[in-house]
Structure 1
Amino acid sequence: MPMSLLLNLSALLALVPAGLFALRSPGRTGGLFWGLLCVAVTGPLLFVIVSVGSSWRSDLAMALWLAVSASLLVYLLLCWFRREARGLAVLLMPYLFLLSLIATIAGTAPHIVLNEGLPGTWFSAHIAVALATYALLTLAAITGLAIFIKERALKKKRVSSGIAPALPSVADCEKLQGQLLGAAVIVLVCGLVTGIALQNYLTGQPLAFDHKTVLSLVTLGILAALWLVNSRFGMRGRTVARLVLVAYLLLTLAYPGVKFVAEILV
């Protein structure tokens, strides 16, 4: 078995224990939870570090692995500072496993290595900020999904069955989602600034209005408006959750979606 495939499968399997634990023991957040979460973070992160090496890969598989790694890292920090966020594992881990499985399948496609002449500082900063934005919005979208599930369970009076008991309360989810939205807006603005600097360095033009840029700007507009309106006037949890999911879809189309079309459909 090729070493790259072995590392890929190891990273994929590293997510399984944490996912099974979250599904079979919802609500438990002791030492075993932290141990399995650290394993889940370490697997994809090591795969990314080893795979990238000295040259940057720009393909769908690596984009997905980077998104998974960033989401897990941000989630680990979020769980440390916000105890109620630990209940989101029951939704987040299966979703990230699905992304990792798609990345494993897509990994058979040829790898694309970017030009080594790219400016290291601006390029690295832009990638880091973009991944942080995607991770924050991923967690905000998962929190929105938790609001849907929790409110549906309350409406049908099934709060003690399924995965609903493991999820944070609706009030906690709404508060957490608002904080994640604010952080995503700030980081996305930083991402656009570093993107403009990188684009100006490469082409002499400050902004290229391609599909990625347009979708990113639309996403920023939705998130900023949503954050400001929600923080000032307040909005119903389901309404915010729907708009966050729309913004997440747009950001997904702007980055992994473009690579999927270019590598798989075209």
Structure 2
Amino acid sequence: MSLALNLSALASLVPAALLALRPDSSTGPRLWAAVLIAGAGTIGWSVNRLLGHWDPGLGTALWISVAATLVVYAVTVLVRPWAGRLICLLGPYLLLVAVLATATTRPAPAGIVGTLPSAWVVIHILVSLATYALATLAAVAGLSVTLKEAALKAKNEDGWRAGLPAVADSDRLQFQLLLLALVVLGFGIASGAVLELSETGRPLILDHKTVLSVVAFVLVATVLVLHARYGLRGRRAARAVLVVYLLLTLAYPGVKAVHALLLGP
């Protein structure tokens, strides 16, 4: 894949990242223009990269996760228009991930790039992407809660912090996204077990990806129960959401990072 295509996909995320400097533009036509440009660049890169074959590389995984997160974000903004203000945090973060993706994208070693996976494997991959995208957006909403509460406490809401959603809105959104992530993650673990059963005869192989996914599932369920029964919210809830995101990052891109950066050729 040409360097020009990588750089064009990277450049497509710049308008969304720059909206952090213009909180008043984080809703309306400018927001949607930035999201559509970013989506076209990242989804176009992903389609071009995977056209006719499957690439399990770290760079590809990061690019696809950026594209999936943008899709989930766009759907969220359609349902909750005020969530557009999260672009102040999400835009710069996705740009940083894309920079890392560009730096780690390389042709897969011979014998690694294979044919397109079966339909059931594709479903499992899509479920994993949806889980990670939901967790990413939940973590961003949780970070917004933390930063907004700190700004209110310090009586300093100037600049980009003024453009963040209200604490109550972000807090509610992070739990709604967590609930969706729990359902999707549960389906992902189940679909993974079915794949393992069909390939190895065992429902689960306790590799570190499976263990981290199960731990994340238990932690998400625990956080949701604590929220429902004991009113967990605010910074404490946001910290728990960030831990969930860390676990899923270690479970999904983390596996590829270890192989590409430590065990690769």
* Structure 1 range deviating more: 138-147 or 100-109: 100-109
Q: Are residues 1:107 and 2:105 paired? A: yes
Aligned counterpart for 1:200 among listed residues 190, 197, 200: 197
> Is the contact made by 2:16 and 2:92 (CA closer than 8 Å) also made in structure 1?
no
| Post-superposition offset of 1:109 | 5.8
Name 1:133's counterpart in structure 2.
131
Quote how far apart the aligned CAs of 1:42 are. 1.0
Offset at residue 199 of structure 1 (A): 1.2
Question: What are the ranges of 5 or more consecutive residues in structure 2 without an aligned counterpart?
Answer: none
Specify the code of the residue in structure 1 equivalent to 2:174. Q
Change (3 A) 1:191 1:141: same
Letter in 1 for 2:45: F
Mapped to 2, the partners of 1:234 and 1:109 lie a distance apart of 49
Aligned to 1:177: 174
Identity value in percent: 45
Q: How does 1:223-262 map to 2 (within 5 A)?
A: 223-262=220-259
The CA deviation string for residues 88-128 of structure 1, in whole angstroms up to 9 with x for no partner, is 0000010000000000000136357455485x121010000
Q: What is the correspondence of 1:37-76 to structure 2 with a 5 Å cutoff?
A: 37-76=35-74
Matching residue's letter, 2:166: S
1:217 aligns with 2:214: yes
1:144 aligned onto 2:142: yes
- Which TM-score applies when normalising by structure 2? 0.94
Alpha-carbon contact 1:61-1:103 (below 8 Å) kept: yes
Q: Within 5 A, what are the aligned runs for 1:24-43?
A: 24-28=21-25, 29-43=27-41
* DSSP 3-state at the match of 2:146: helix
Cα distance in 2 for partners of 1:71, 1:116 equals 25
Contact 1:55 1:113 in 2 (8 A): no
Counterpart of 1:257 in structure 2: which amino acid?
G
Which residue does the alignment assign to 1:15?
13
Contact 1:141 1:245 in 2 (8 A): yes
With the length of structure 1 as denominator, give the TM-score of the two structures: 0.94
Moved over 6 A (4+): none
Which runs of 5 or more structure 1 residues have no equivalent in the other structure?
Answer: none
Residue 172 of structure 1 aligns with an amino acid whose one-letter code is D
**How far apart, CA to CA, are the structure 2 residues paired with 1:209 and 1:24?**
45
- Distance in 2 separating the partners of 1:4 and 1:203: 38
Q: CA deviation at 1:263?
A: 1.0
Contact 2:55 2:108 in 1 (8 A): no
**2 CA distance for matches of 1:117 and 1:56?**
5
Task: Look up the match of 1:167.
Answer: 164
- Which range moves more in the overlay, 195-204 or 62-71? 195-204
- Alignment root-mean-square deviation, CA: 1.5
Structure 2 Cα separation of the partners of residues 93 and 113 of structure 1:
32
1:84, distance to aligned residue in structure 2 (A): 1.7
